Structure 1
């Protein structure tokens, strides 16, 4: 299958590399540095049991995705509409689009731009970019796809490429579970520039995380989202599963890039305000990350 990755950061490069290893023709749309590095030396995938170069194509613009059968849409949440408009003229009729993004509303926002269904996907993976075309895998990699006409077929394709994938009618609740996990970890990891394992060794941090989770759960349940009863335990367990992982927000700030904080803790703050639910812990973390972004931009 011809597969395109729109937004070839760590997540897009990781899944693109696995699909290329399985024999699919994969084209990455990424920054010029990535394009140059991939064309010169290929894409390096570093993970347990494999460290080598994978053959993929790389282009700087979405015109390179004309004719692909499957698009992994992996851009930052703030770029969803703009990237969707850029992709639209080149999107093949019948192509399947998966939204592999943080946040809970990207698939709906992208579908409105494209004028076609988009499959929401919950992504559980720890990755980072160690170089312009060097993606490292630190843990997990499973995907939960929302239901759709092509979802089972795509899930089969993903599983054949050693990507654990399931299709679930409960994808909205799963997206919120992931959002709550991100709200608990991303900003704190970013502010201190420390890994998850290091974070939770500070008792006060665990207390803050519990407050963040409680606020987010209150917002979700006010929207009748079926958040898992054990969400706090699952949040705390993540540090043991991924002790060396820096959050994507921490990685963005370390590179001087804008983060997705508006679509993480910021989303909880906005929804809480609309519902009349106080969210002071999430607001404080939002403000801290915004201060660091402003400092970097000054």
Structure 2
């Protein structure tokens, strides 16, 4: 398969690296520093089971998507519209575009700019960029997709590359379940710069998380979304399986970069307002992260 990764950050580099390692033609589209390092040495794919340099093409220009049959869009939610417009002139008419992004509405925002079919994929992976061209994998790596998102052969190729694919008839519910996870963990980890395991040791933090989750579930119900029954179990699992991990929002703030908080807790606040549902905990978490971001360059 020929695959383009639009947004070669921690998520994009992990999935792109795994697919390239399996022999697929992959191009990573990202920032100059990462591209330069990858061109010189390959992508350093540093996982829990192996550490190796993977030969993979890299570019800074969205035109590199040309000819790809699958495009994994992994840019920050704040860059979705810009990325779609940059890719649009270069996409094959039959290309499959998958949104591997936080938040619940990025596929819709991509679809508004692109004639190609766009589908959401729910991402469960813990990874970080440890340096230019160096992605470090901390755990998991599965994707949840709808029944017609990939062909049977493409699904087999992803699985063979070490990327588990879960096919679901309720991707909207899975997207919201991931949003609930992010709303519970991301801002708290970012504000305190504390990994999940240590946060979980605080009963007070757990109480705040329960309140944030309850607000999310109320908004989801008003949106007509059916979530799995194990929302809290999934939150507990994060603490148990990734105790040393900082949230992506925490990593952004540590690098003095603006985060996706407007598309996480901020999204719940906005949809709550639309339905007349109070979301004071999510509003507070959103506001505190925005204060911390206020001194950063956009």
- In the other structure, the counterpart of 1:82 is 82
Please list every run of 5 or more consecutive structure 1 residues that lacks an aligned counterpart in the other structure. Answer: none
Q: Output the CA distance in 1 between the equivalents of 2:213 and 2:22.
A: 38
**Cα pair 2:95 2:116 within 8 Å, conserved:** no
- In the other structure, the counterpart of 1:2 is 2
3-state SS of 1:139 partner: strand
Question: Superposition RMSD on alpha carbons, in Å?
Answer: 1.2
**Cα pair 1:145 1:155 within 8 Å, conserved:** no
C-alpha distance after superposition, 1:234-256 (max 9, x if no partner):
21221111101110101111111
- In the other structure, the counterpart of 2:24 is 24
**Cα pair 2:258 2:296 within 8 Å, conserved:** no
Of 161-170 and 22-31, the range deviating more from structure 2: 161-170
Whether 1:252 aligns to 2:252 is yes
**Cα pair 1:18 1:162 within 8 Å, conserved:** yes
Q: CA deviation at 1:108?
A: 1.1
Please identify runs of 4+ aligned residues in structure 1 that moved more than 4 A: none
- In the other structure, the counterpart of 1:289 is 289
3-state SS of 2:110 partner: helix
**Cα pair 1:190 1:249 within 8 Å, conserved:** yes
Please list every run of 5 or more consecutive structure 2 residues that lacks an aligned counterpart in the other structure. Answer: none
Per the normalisation by structure 2, the TM-score is: 0.97
Per the normalisation by structure 1, the TM-score is: 0.97
- In the other structure, the counterpart of 2:66 is 66
3-state SS of 2:191 partner: helix
Q: Output the CA distance in 2 between the equivalents of 1:163 and 1:228.
A: 22
3-state SS of 1:209 partner: helix
3-state SS of 1:86 partner: helix
Of 283-292 and 220-229, the range deviating more from structure 2: 220-229
Aligned residues, how many? 298
Q: CA deviation at 1:223?
A: 1.4
Q: CA deviation at 1:153?
A: 3.5
Q: CA deviation at 1:151?
A: 4.4
- In the other structure, the counterpart of 1:183 is 183
3-state SS of 2:113 partner: helix
- In the other structure, the counterpart of 1:33 is 33
- In the other structure, the counterpart of 1:229 is 229
